[in-house]
Structure 1
Amino acid sequence: MPQPATPPTAAPTPVQLMDQLARAAAAYYRNFAAMAAEHGLTLMQGKTLSLLREPRPMRTLADLLACDASNVTGIVDRLEARGLVRREVAPADRRIKNVLLTEEGEETVRRIRADMLSGLTGLDRLSDEDRHAFQALLTRVFPEPTA
C-alpha cells in the first residue's frame, strides 16, 4: 500500500527568520566579545578593529558602529594608545582623519578571526555550494551600502 505523501512544511515567516537571525547574531557577538576580551579588548574595540580592513574616516566608523562620533574618538584613542591603530590625515581633505590598523592591529584582528573560526565549526561543515548559497542569501538580505 503506498505511503501517504508528506505534507510540505510551511516556510518560516519573516518574523520567524528575523527571530532566528537575532539569536544567531547574539550568539556571534557573545563569542566575538569573549574572543576580543582574550586580547584585552572590549566588544566595541574589537568591532572597530574588524571594520578597518581599509582606512576609514572617524565619521564612517561612527556610522558603521551605530554610535556617536565622540564615542568613536574614545575607542580610537584607547586603540591608538595600545599601538593597534593610527590616525592619518586624508590626502583629499586634510580636515578628515582616517583610522588605519598598525601591523600589531592587523595581527590582533587576524588572531581574533582565527579564534572566532575555531568556535564556528558549522561554517566549516558547509559545502562550497552551501557557502555560495549562504553568501548570496546574506547579500540579498543585507546588501552592501552604495557610497
Structure 2
Amino acid sequence: MELLSLSLGVYYGDFTAAAASENLTAIQGKTLTVLRRGPIAMRALAEIMACDASNVTGIIDRLEKRGLVRREPSASDRRVTNLVITPEGEQLSDAIRAKMHTTRDGLNRLSAEDQAHLSTLLKRAFLSCPPPPNDP
C-alpha cells in the first residue's frame, strides 16, 4: 500500500505541475483526461470526478471558454447534455502528458515486458472496483 501511495503521489504531483504549465488546474486536466474516453453526460462526469454536479458546471464553463470542450445534446435524450473534448482539448491533454517527465522517466526504467506486466496487474486490481463514494 505504501508503494502504491508513493507512486500515486509522484504521478499526481507530476500531473498537477504539467497541467499548471498549461494554465489548467489539476481537476481541469483530469476532466480532459476523462473526456478522452468519449462523450459523457454531465452527471456521469460528476460521479467519475467524485464531485458535485454544480462543481462540474464551473469546470466545464472554464474549459469551454478556452475551446477545449463543448456541450452537445444527447441524441437519445434531449434533456441530457453530453460533454465532448475538442481537437484543441486533445492536443492540450497530449501536451500535459508529454510534460510528465518524472512519471515517464520512472516507467521508462522498466522493460517493455515489465510495463506490460504492470499494466496487466493494475487492470486486474482496479478495473472492476466500484467508484469511490462522494463523501469521505
Q: TM-score, normalised by structure 1?
A: 0.82
Q: Considering only CA atoms, is the larger Rg found in Structure 1 or Structure 2?
A: 1
How far has the Cα of 1:144 moved from its partner? 4.6
Per-residue CA deviations over 1:78-135 (Å, capped at 9, x if unaligned) read: 100111100001101111111111121111001111111x332121222221112101
Q: Which amino acid aligns with 1:37?
A: A
Q: Which amino acid aligns with 1:127?
A: S
Q: Which amino acid aligns with 2:52?
A: D
Q: Distance in 2 between the 1:52 and 1:119 partners? A: 24
Map of 1:67 onto structure 2? 51
Q: Distance in 2 between the 1:139 and 1:132 partners? A: 11
Q: Distance in 2 between the 1:135 and 1:28 partners? A: 15
Q: Distance in 2 between the 1:61 and 1:39 partners? A: 22
1:140 equivalent in alignment to 2:124: yes
How far has the Cα of 1:145 moved from its partner? 6.2
Per-residue CA deviations over 1:29-81 (Å, capped at 9, x if unaligned) read: 11111100000001100100111111111111111111111100110011001
Matches within 5 A, 1:78-97: 78-97=62-81
Could you say what secondary structure the match of 2:6 adopts? helix
Q: Which amino acid aligns with 2:10?
A: A
Q: TM-score, normalised by structure 2?
A: 0.88
Q: Distance in 2 between the 1:27 and 1:125 partners? A: 15
Question: Which 4+ residue blocks in structure 1 deviate beyond 3 angstroms?
Answer: none
Map of 1:33 onto structure 2? 16
- Mark the runs of 5 or more structure 2 residues left unpaired by the alignment: 131-136
Matches within 5 A, 1:8-47: 18-47=1-30
Q: Percent identity?
A: 52
Is 72-81 or 136-145 further displaced after alignment?
136-145
Conserved 8 A contact 2:74-2:81 = yes
Higher RCO (Cα < 8 Å, 6 or more apart): 2
Q: Distance in 1 between the 2:39 and 2:128 partners? A: 17
What is the aligned-residue RMSD (CA, Å)?
A: 1.4
